[in-house]
Structure formats: structure tokens, C-alpha cells
């Protein structure tokens, strides 16, 4: 068939088997068309002589042109149908892949991404993002956490207290995301929770994106004095991490479940291993 | 106290904005790595002493696997014996979470402290995630089970001698490609 449906008692995912991409998500009694893609921003390379000639580097994100979307072509798809966990493996290209999983009785979707080594043979630095696109009419508004604490409202191309120069419209709309980023309309709300500090934005209504991995070939002259080009293994780093997605009804305040999940992500169980033929008891 | 002080100091240094955002020089990144690794390994002996006291496994190794996030664990890779995994919940309230332990492709049974079987399954780690061209790894599967933990809980992972029942539960799309392969 041209659709792969992956579901448990709480979550239903639909994939397009011809493109390999995610099509819809159903959970909490809500259904939404959500398309996920991966993309590359080419890092600007300048001589750092003037502000408009500054390179993209460790401190500054300056894309050279618009995004190049990776997943528009065929994505290889493999499905593992377990009883407690169901997993979909997506191979986007040689150095971008992902596992999408749902656990039984868990009300969220897990995206475990793997990016790298980012090729630099073409002498172009690359900044890799993932983007979730939906039909939610967010009207330019989205929300990011304040260093893990309260959620702050962000408005695209605006600042709260001054008129910004938005000549760099992509990076000018990026905000730090250390816990979660969300958007909503009157009915639906999408929240992405991450496992590390990342940059994030909503460049179009209904869209959320997160920066996953960067490899850049120039220093940005903001102090570090070297390019963000980690080559200690000869080829560049492989980064692996998780994003959790919750689709729920709209709410004026962050949901309890989202806040609880954020704590669980930061403070998951510590695991210790011992050899034993019997199970010890806790005193 | 020395071990805990060392971990406390390392964590303090990791609050620097360069460590949080990754804007440090590469040599500094390696130094942070060295410092944090040394501090964690030192504090593991405190955790071991505490867990030997908190459980009746007085000779338990209580080893950590610092590569769990990349589906690798030297302890479960090297041993063919039964393994106890002790879960510590750092939160101030009980929590239920799925646990993934890198294992060989064997037939396992997981039991809790009362000897009750906990439903579990062995899931293959996809080859692209294993990144085998970049690292060797003998644990190409993960044992997945759901654990409810108030503060500390033990689970026994027993290797069963019986052969694993062969169930084909993977499918590849598009189907034509799978047939070709």
C-alpha cells in the first residue's frame, strides 16, 4: 500500500511509503497532518572585516542563502513492529538517519536523530536542521522556554521592546531552546521537547524547526579563534539525540504533562549493572 | 567527600556558557571531557558504596555504562552471565519510564525484586545508528522494558538457555526494494 500506519493504544502515525515521510499524527483525540523534513543551511564564509562580511561560526548562525531540504527525495523506510515499542527507521542520506518510535501506554512520539559526519569535501560548511510542518494557524507566534523555566512568547520578525533589523530573517528568528518549543492555534498545540540546548525557530505558520548539528569551516571572529570543525576522528563528528513530540489541544498555559516530561528527560533513571543470579532487594 | 567535591567542581565548571553552548576551543572541549569523565568515574565508587548499603547485594559491581546513549555497554557486552540492573530515580517523585539496555541477541527474561516477570523485548538497533564503520560494538540489540521506580529498584536480566523464537517483525518500504535486496 502507499501508507504505513504505526499505532498503539494512544498514538497513531501515518507514513507515506512512496516518499518515506511522516504524514499524520493522531493523539489525545486530535489528528494533524505533520510533515517532517531535514534541511541544510550553508554557512556563510566571509573575511570578518565588516559586520555584513562575518562568517557563520561557533557564536553566530549566518546562513548563506535559503534552506536546502534533504528529504524531498525517497527516504528508505523500515518498520519494526514490537509489542511494547514500534519503530520506524528512516534513512535520509548517507549521513542523516532517524528512528521514530512509540512506546505502549506512552503519550508522545520519539524522534531519535543521527547526523554526521557532515561532509565538507565541497568546502562548504553546513548547519543541519529538522523541521516539523503542520496546518496549525499559529499567526507568527511560538513559544520557547526560558532556560528550562517559564515559556516565553516569541513573535516572528518582532521583539518585545524595540523594532529589530530583520535583514537576516532566518537567524534573526532563531531562539535558544533548552527544554521545549511549541506553537498553537485555537484548537491544537504542538510541542517539541529536546534533550540538549539547541537553536529553534518558527519561520512559517505551523512550522517548528530545531538545529541539530553544525560543521563550519571559518572562525566567526567573536573570540573562539577557530572554526567549528571537529575533525579529531578524521571525518567530523556524528551527533545523536532525541526530540519528543506532543500533539494536544490548545492551552493558555504549558501543560502539566509537558513539564513533567521535561523533568524526566533531564533526570532519567540512573542505571548500574552487576553480575548476579538473584535479584537483590532494597533495604 | 573528595570524589563528590571533584564532581561538584566539574559540574560547576560545566555551567560556563562556553561549555553549555559548545563555543569553547576544541582543546578546551577535550579538557572538559577529561575533567568530567574523571569526576564521574570517581563518584561511581560513592554510588557503589551507597548501593551496596541500600541493597543486599553487598558484593555488587554497580558499574555504569557511559555509552548507553549510543547503544553500547561494555558490561553487558562482555558478560554471558545474568545481570542485575539497578535503577535510581533522581526525581522527587515516583516515575515510570521505558529502559533500554544494550544486549546481545539472546533470549532474556526480566524479573523484578519480587520475582515477577516484567514484559520485555529485544529490539535490533538499526545499522545506521550503530555506525559500525566508525566504532565496533558487540551489542547490536537493546532489551526494552518498562520500569516503575520510587527511589531505587532492581531488575534481574536472566539469559535463557532456550533458543529465541524466530518471529519476523520487520518490514521494509518500498517493498520492491526489499525483494531486490
* Average pLDDT, rounded, for chain A: 92
Q: Which residue has the higher pLDDT, B169 or A31?
A: A31
Q: What is the per-residue pLDDT for B81? A: 82
Q: Which residue has the higher pLDDT, B134 or A160?
A: A160
Q: Which of B 108-167 lie inside 8 A of A, CB atoms?
A: 111-113, 115, 119-121, 123-124, 126, 128-129, 131, 134, 144-147, 149, 151-156
**Touching check for A76 and chain B: CB below 8 Å?**
yes
Q: Which of B 50-79 lie inside 8 A of A, CB atoms?
A: 51, 53-57, 60-65, 68-70, 73, 75-76, 79
Judged by average pLDDT, the poorest of A61-70, A228-237, B52-61 is A228-237
User: Is the predicted pLDDT of residue B178 greater than 60, yes or no?
Assistant: no
| Total Cβ atoms within 10 A of residue A107 | 17
pLDDT category of residue A250 using cuts at 50, 70 and 90: very high
pLDDT category of residue A232 using cuts at 50, 70 and 90: low
**CA separation (Å) from B90 to A180, A263, A270?**
21, 10, 7
Q: What is the per-residue pLDDT for A244? A: 96
| Short-list A114, A35, A20, A130, CA closest to A75 | A20
pLDDT by residue (tens digit) across B73-97?
989 887 778 999 999 999 999 999 9
Mean pLDDT of A275-282: 89
User: Is the predicted pLDDT of residue B176 greater than 60, yes or no?
Assistant: no
- ipTM for this prediction: 0.91
User: Is the predicted pLDDT of residue B129 greater than 70, yes or no?
Assistant: no
Q: What is the per-residue pLDDT for A257? A: 77
Q: What is the per-residue pLDDT for B175? A: 59
Contacts of A275 in chain B (CB under 8 A): 61, 79, 81-84
pLDDT category of residue A246 using cuts at 50, 70 and 90: very high
Q: What is the per-residue pLDDT for A194? A: 95
**CA separation (Å) from A29 to A159, A192, B40?**
35, 18, 44
**Disruptive mutation site among B126, B142, B154 for chain A (greatest number of A CBs within 10 Å):** B126
Judged by average pLDDT, the poorest of B31-40, B106-115, B168-177 is B168-177
User: Is the predicted pLDDT of residue A24 greater than 70, yes or no?
Assistant: yes
Q: Which residue has the higher pLDDT, A255 or A236?
A: A236
Q: What is the per-residue pLDDT for A260? A: 84
Does residue A117 have a cis bond before it (omega within 30 degrees)? yes
Contacts of A225 in chain B (CB under 8 A): 25
Contacts of A272 in chain B (CB under 8 A): 47-48, 51, 60, 62-64, 85-86, 88
Concatenate the DSSP letters of all residues of A128-197 into one string: EEEEEE-----TTEEEEESTTSSEEEEETT--SSS----SSTTGGG-EEESSEEEEE-SSEEEEEEESS-
CA distance A95 to chain B (A): 9
| Short-list A13, A21, A6, A12, CA closest to A90 | A21
pLDDT category of residue A50 using cuts at 50, 70 and 90: confident
pLDDT by residue (tens digit) across B4-55?
999 999 999 999 988 988 889 999 999 999 999 999 999 999 999 999 999 9
**Touching check for A162 and chain B: CB below 8 Å?**
no
Cell numbers describing residue A6:
504505526
Amino acid at each position: 500500500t502507499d501508507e504505513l500506519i504505526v499505532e498503539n493504544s494512544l498514538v497513531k502515525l501515518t507514513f507515506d511509503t512512496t516518499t518515506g515521510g511522516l504524514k499524520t499524527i493522531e493523539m489525545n483525540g486530535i489528528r494533524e497532518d505533520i510533515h517532517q523534513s531535514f534541511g541544510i543551511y550553508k554557512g556563510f564564509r566571509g573575511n570578518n572585516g565588516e559586520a555584513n562580511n562575518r562568517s557563520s561560526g561557533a557564536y553566530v548562525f549566518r546562513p548563506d542563502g535559503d534552506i536546502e531540504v534533504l528529504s524531498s527525495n525517497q527516504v528508505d523506510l523500515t518498520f519494526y513492529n514490537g509489542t511494547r515499542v514500534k519503530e520506524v527507521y528512516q534513512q535520509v542520506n548517507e549521513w542523516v538517519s532517524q528512528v521514530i518510535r512509540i512506546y505502549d501506554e506512552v503519550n508522545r512520539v520519539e524522534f531519535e536523530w543521527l547526523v554526521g559526519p557532515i561532509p565538507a569535501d565541497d568546502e562548504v560548511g553546513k548547519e543541519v536542521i529538522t523541521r516539523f510542518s503542520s496546518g496549525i494557524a499559529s499567526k507568527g507566534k511560538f513559544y520557547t522556554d526560558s532556560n528550562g523555566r517559564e515559556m516565553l512568547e516569541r513573535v516572528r520578525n518582532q521583539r518585545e521592546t524595540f523594532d529589530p533589523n530583520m535583514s537576516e530573517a532566518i537567524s534573526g528568528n532563531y531562539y535558544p531552546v533548552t527544554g521545549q518549543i511549541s506553537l498553537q492555534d485555537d484548537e491544537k498545540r504542538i510541542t517539541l521537547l529536546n534533550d540538549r540546548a539547541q537553536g529553534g525557530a518558527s519561520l512559517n505558520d505551523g512550522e517548528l524547526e530545531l538545529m541539530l548539528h553544525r560543521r563550519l569551516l571559518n572562525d566567526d571572529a567573536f573570540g573562539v579563534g577557530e572554526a567549528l570543525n571537529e575533525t579529531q576522528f578524521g571525518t567530523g563528528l556524528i551527533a545523536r539525540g532525541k526530540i519528543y513530540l506532543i500533539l494536544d489541544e490548545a492551552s493558555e498555559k504549558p501543560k502539566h504533562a509537558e513539564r513533567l516530561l521535561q523533568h524526566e528527560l533531564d533526570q532519567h533513571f540512573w542505571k548500574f549493572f552487576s553480575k548476579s543470579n538473584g535479584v537483590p532487594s532494597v533495604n | 567527600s573528595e570524589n563528590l567535591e571533584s564532581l561538584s567542581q566539574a559540574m560547576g565548571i560545566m555551567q560556563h556558557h562556553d561549555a553549555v553552548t559548545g563555543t569553547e576551543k576544541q582543546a578546551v572541549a577535550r579538557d572538559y571531557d577529561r575533567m568530567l569523565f574523571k569526576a564521574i568515574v570517581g563518584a561511581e565508587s560513592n554510588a557503589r558504596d551507597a548501593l551496596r548499603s541500600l541493597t543486599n547485594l553487598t558484593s555488587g559491581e554497580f558499574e555504569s555504562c557511559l555509552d548507553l546513549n549510543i547503544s553500547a555497554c561494555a558490561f553487558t557486552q562482555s558478560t554471558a552471565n545474568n545481570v542485575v540492573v539497578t535503577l535510581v530515580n533522581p526525581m522527587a517523585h515516583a516515575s515510570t519510564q521505558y529502559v533500554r539496555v544494550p544486549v546481545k541477541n539472546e533470549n532474556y527474561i526480566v524479573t523484578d525484586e519480587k520475582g515477577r516477570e516484567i514484559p520485555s523485548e529485544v529490539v535490533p538497533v538499526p545499522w545506521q545508528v550503530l555506525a559500525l564503520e566508525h566504532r565496533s560494538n558487540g551489542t547490536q540489540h537493546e532489551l526494552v522494558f518498562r520500569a516503575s521506580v520510587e527511589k531505587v529498584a532492581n531488575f534481574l536480566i536472566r539469559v535463557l538457555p532456550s533458543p529465541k523464537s524466530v518471529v519476523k517483525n520487520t518490514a521494509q518500504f518500498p517493498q520492491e526494494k526489499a525483494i531486490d535486496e
